[in-house]
Amino acid sequence: MRIAATADLHYSVQRAALQDQLAPVRNEADILVVAGDLTNFGQPAEMELLLNVLVRLRIPIVAVLGNHDYESSKHEDLMRMMTTEGIKVLDGTGYERDGVGFAGTKGFVGGFGRGVLTAFGEPEIKTFVKASIDEAMKLERAMAQLRTEKRVVVLHYSPIAATVQGEAPEIFPYLGTSRLAEVVDRHGADLILHGHAHHGTATGKTVGGIPVHNVAITLLQSQQPSAAYKIFDV
Ligand SMILES: [Fe+2]
Ligand SMILES: [Fe+2]
């Protein structure tokens, strides 16, 4: 299966060029993955504009939401709009197509490796850490649902530090958490796709050796200005 992947479209009227850049995807891939931040402010009006573009691509689409899609607290409306147009929105859920399983969730912040924030001390810290653990558990559930041999994990936040390199080191803990990578390493997968780190690094690996790709469109376009997605063979 040929998978086209992108993220961080932050769609608005100014992004009209995206329509032409995405147009060839139908000939180059069997499915399109959008790894979060579809909109800039999580407004249904932004999603409506983007859906006009996505529907015309006439390709199956799998997506997770990103933090920007939550900004206006309309994320449930956005998910409903996407689902109505036939997009598979993964939120702690799995989806199988042509022998390939997709497990997805937004993910959350929390830091990497020895720097992972733990639930100790004030209740506010515990609430914050719980949000991170909850996303890891959602991913666990999604992965447990898959019965396919081939598996692709879709996240918005990064599961490893390597693919956020390039961003300011001070904000690394806000770009993802290795709690997500631990889940994937336990279940096994062929590929992890994420976004969020707009100026991160394209590729990395989990501790268990699973390839991780940051497909933020800003990063893809920094290498090739007209690129709106990257193709993977699974
Ligand atoms: Fe983003
Ligand atoms: Fe983001």
**pLDDT tens column, 106-151:** 999 999 999 999 999 999 999 999 999 999 999 999 999 999 999 9
Q: Cα of 214 to ligand 1 centre, how many Å?
A: 11
Q: Cα of 127 to ligand 2 centre, how many Å?
A: 20
Q: Cα of 14 to ligand 2 centre, how many Å?
A: 19
Pair 212, 22: CB distance under 8 Å: no
Q: Cα of 113 to ligand 1 centre, how many Å?
A: 23
Q: Cα of 106 to ligand 2 centre, how many Å?
A: 9
Q: Cα of 120 to ligand 1 centre, how many Å?
A: 29
Q: Which helix or strand (DSSP H or E) is residue 159 part of?
A: none
Q: Give strand pairing partners of 191.
A: 152
d(CA 96, CA 205): 24
Pair 197, 7: CB distance under 8 Å: no
Q: Cα of 121 to ligand 1 centre, how many Å?
A: 31
Q: Cα of 206 to ligand 1 centre, how many Å?
A: 22
The dihedrals phi and psi of 90, each to the nearest 5 degrees, come to -95, 125
Which ligand is nearest to the Cα of residue 70, counting in written order? 2
Q: List, for residues 17-44, the tens digit of each pLDDT value.
A: 899 999 999 999 999 999 999 999 999 9
Which ligand is nearest to the Cα of residue 107, counting in written order? 2
Q: Cα of 176 to ligand 1 centre, how many Å?
A: 12
Task: Check pLDDT > 90 for residue 16.
Answer: no
d(CA 145, CA 178): 21
Task: Check pLDDT > 80 for residue 13.
Answer: no
Which ligand is nearest to the Cα of residue 155, counting in written order? 2
Q: List, for residues 49-108, the tens digit of each pLDDT value.
A: 999 999 999 999 999 999 999 999 999 999 999 999 999 999 999 999 999 999 999 999
For the chain, first and last CA: distance in Å?
A: 5
Q: Cα of 149 to ligand 1 centre, how many Å?
A: 31
